[in-house]
Structure 1
Amino acid sequence: MPALALELEVARRIARQAGDLLLQVYATDFSVTNKAGGAGPVTLADERANAFIVGELRKAFPGDGVVAEETEDASDAKRFERCWYVDPLDGTQEFVNRNGEFAVHIGLAVEGRPALGVVYRAVGDVLYSGVVGGQGFVEDPQGRRVLRVSDVADPAALRLVVSRSHRSSATDAVVTRLGITREKESGSVGVKCGLLAEARCDLYVHASDKSYRWDNCAPEAVLRSAGGILTDLAGVPYRYDGSELQNRRGLLACNAAAFDQVLPVVSQVAREAGLLP
């Protein structure tokens, strides 16, 4: 049996079931509350899916840690060699706006590094999954396909996917300096990284400190299984070991062919914006 095959199968099942829970709430006139400290909106869907995923993972893998966005105690990240990072509803603002661009994230980190990821976009029934060092796949109503990032190397030819809800002036500066002319808007870190993994986009820059490890653990594993790269804005991979949970240095996701040319520009913009020292 391939490495992590059982974990991948279980994570895929849980993600689909959690997606069904999200859609049940999505079909209702749900209410929205704001988290303390301006940390964004939260709905009944976030809470229900969070409780379900955490419960299922603990049942299936009692020896593993679990860190989830809507669970206050994140100490498992420091206590376990294997730890699951869960975002039950990545893109809550997109859920609230009812544009379908939200996803379930279930990622497994081993010894602080992403090992496996599942990203499920319930609207449209699109499931991305991959094991780092193995092959990634996307499944949708049209079938199952291998994931592989593009080989576009010219920065000016890159297709940038940008946040629909959180675009910054730093992103505009990256676009100008790289000469990018093609952009696509999308919600959810997972959905954006899925577009890169499918070679439908080539670059994603999140020039902000407002994301957390549960936002990117699963997407990073999927993207890396497709030959892509995800780092902070300085080109340094994030650790998933509990040393910090907030992505204080933003996110850069790119195909491998253009990464070395894109990184210096992105890092310079990030320094000017105060995101890097």
Structure 2
Amino acid sequence: MKTLLAIAIKAALEGGTEILKVYETNFNVEIKDDNSPLTQADKNANTIINSYLKTTGIPIISEENRQIDYLERKKWSQCWIVDPLDGTKEFIKRNGEFTVNIALIDNGDPILGVIYVPVSKELYFTSEDGKTSKKIIVFSEEISVEEIFEKAEIIKPSKITSGVKIVGSRSHLNEDTKKFISEIENNLSAEGGKNKVEIVSKGSSLKFCLVAEGLAHIYPRFAPTMEWDTAAGHAICKAVGVSVIDQITGKSMQYNKPNLLNNYFLVKA
């Protein structure tokens, strides 16, 4: 597992390097069939990440790969799930809040996760046993994976004390989410109003990281997402004891499903 994690980390870092090469140019934006944006950065990062992960012999589900029919995928006990550039809208806005997401799935459960933020150089990853998650700022491209393992610091969620921090998105805040936030505010008022709600806005899979490292308490996602948007963040949260609950099944989110579209979910420490 440590070898697989090391490969995923290398893939994420190299993917991030490819993304920044395009980020610094006057890039073009394409619109895919589902009306989502696509840039050369998505394509370049996908190519380099695939080149690393293919060496493991484990099949890959990536946003930018041709999607394989479930009749084939259901035979897989393990698979990688990749978003080579999560937050393409944030990339286009040039606000830095986009990530590289890589997760390893075992029989539907995320067991390893890596999230890299190319602009800020923040790297989040699970331990090889999936029992902790860590964070490091990768200041140098020359850093080895062994050094990353050695120097990364463990992250932990935080308890609610003076206020409830709820993660929102810069690109998505619909009526269902507003209603959820309003219900929490009403509940807090009924309890005496000691705790207040604060909205923490962030793009891409960084929303999962905020809860995992204790900078927020709850992340409600009542809008469409795909498995590659959530798998890595789910793995990182799961390793620190944060639940990611499917709002239809009431159970932990599952992956490599017949339909790669997620149900609404709630991330809670």
TM-score category (smaller protein): 0.7 to 0.9
**Unaligned residue ranges in structure 2 (runs of 5+):** 140-150, 186-195
Structure 1 stretches of 5 or more lacking a match? 256-277
Q: How far apart, CA to CA, are the structure 1 residues paired with 2:138 and 2:46?
A: 26
How far off its partner does 1:232 sit? 1.7
Whole-angstrom distance in 2 between the partners of 1:141 and 1:243: 37
Give the conservation status (yes or no) of the 8 Å contact 2:171–2:203: yes
1:107 is paired with a residue whose SS is strand
TM superposition shift of 1:243: 2.2
* Corresponding residue of 1:74: 68
2:213 aligned residue: 198
> Could you tell me which of 202, 209, 222 is aligned with 1:186?
202
Q: Is the 8 A contact 2:8 2:52 kept in 1?
A: no
Equivalent of 2:132 in 126, 130, 135: 135
The worse-fitting range, judged by mean Cα deviation, of 97-106 and 161-170 is 161-170
- In the alignment, the residues of structure 2 paired with residue 77 and residue 87 of structure 1 have an alpha-carbon distance, to the nearest angstrom, of 18
The CA deviation at 1:54 is 1.4
What SS class does the counterpart of residue 237 from structure 2 fall into? helix
Distance 2:121 2:73 in 1: 30
Q: Aligned partner of 1:121: which letter?
A: V
Are residues 14 and 73 of structure 1, via their aligned partners in 2, closer, same or farther at CA, if it must alter by over 3 Å?
A: same
Counterpart-to-counterpart distance in 1, 2:62 and 2:202: 23
Question: Match for residue 236 of structure 2?
Answer: 222
> Mapping of 1:100-139 within 5 angstroms?
100-131=96-127, 133-139=130-136
Quote the RMSD (CA, aligned, Å): 1.7
Amino acid at match of 2:213: E
- Identity within the alignment, %: 31
Q: Does the residue aligned with 1:52 lie in a helix, a strand or coil?
A: helix
SS at match of 1:201: coil
Contact 1:68–1:74 (8 Å) recurs in 2: no
Using the TM superposition, give the Cα deviation of residue 141 of structure 1 relative to its aligned residue in structure 2, in angstroms. 5.5
Q: CA deviation at 1:33?
A: 1.1
Once the two structures are superposed, residues 57-81 of structure 1 have per-residue CA deviations (whole angstroms, 9 ceiling, x without a partner) of 012x12x110000112234632321
Deviation digits for residues 195-244 of structure 1 (CA, Å, limit 9, x no counterpart): 11110111111111x21111111110001111211122243222213322
2:18 & 2:82 partners in 1: Cα distance? 15
Matched with 1:268 is none
Match of 1:267 in 2: none
**Equivalent residues in 2 for 1:235-254, closer than 5 Å:** 235-247=250-262, 249-254=263-268
Which residue pairs with 2:156 in the alignment?
148
Asked if the contact 2:123–2:138 (Cα under 8 Å) also holds between the matched residues in 1, the reply is no
TM-score (norm 2): 0.86
Match of 1:169 in 2: 175
1:152-182, Cα deviation, whole Å (9 max, x unpaired): 2x7x932011010011111111111101520
The one-character-per-residue Cα deviations of 1:127-147 (angstroms, maximum 9, x if unpaired) are 000146411101116963211
Query: CA 1:77–1:128 in 2, change beyond 3 Å: closer, same or farther?
Result: farther
Q: For 1:202 and 1:19, locate their aligned partners in 2 and report how far apart those are by CA, in whole Å.
A: 28
Give distance in 2, aligned partners of 1:106 and 1:169. 30
Cα offset for 1:100? Answer: 0.3
Quote the offset at 1:123 in angstroms. Answer: 0.9
C-alpha distance in structure 1 between counterparts of 2:27 and 2:126, whole Å: 33
- 1:16 aligns to what? 13
For 1:33 and 1:73, the matched residues in 2 are separated by: 19
Instruction: Answer yes or no: is the 8 Å Cα contact 1:67–1:73 preserved in 2.
Output: yes
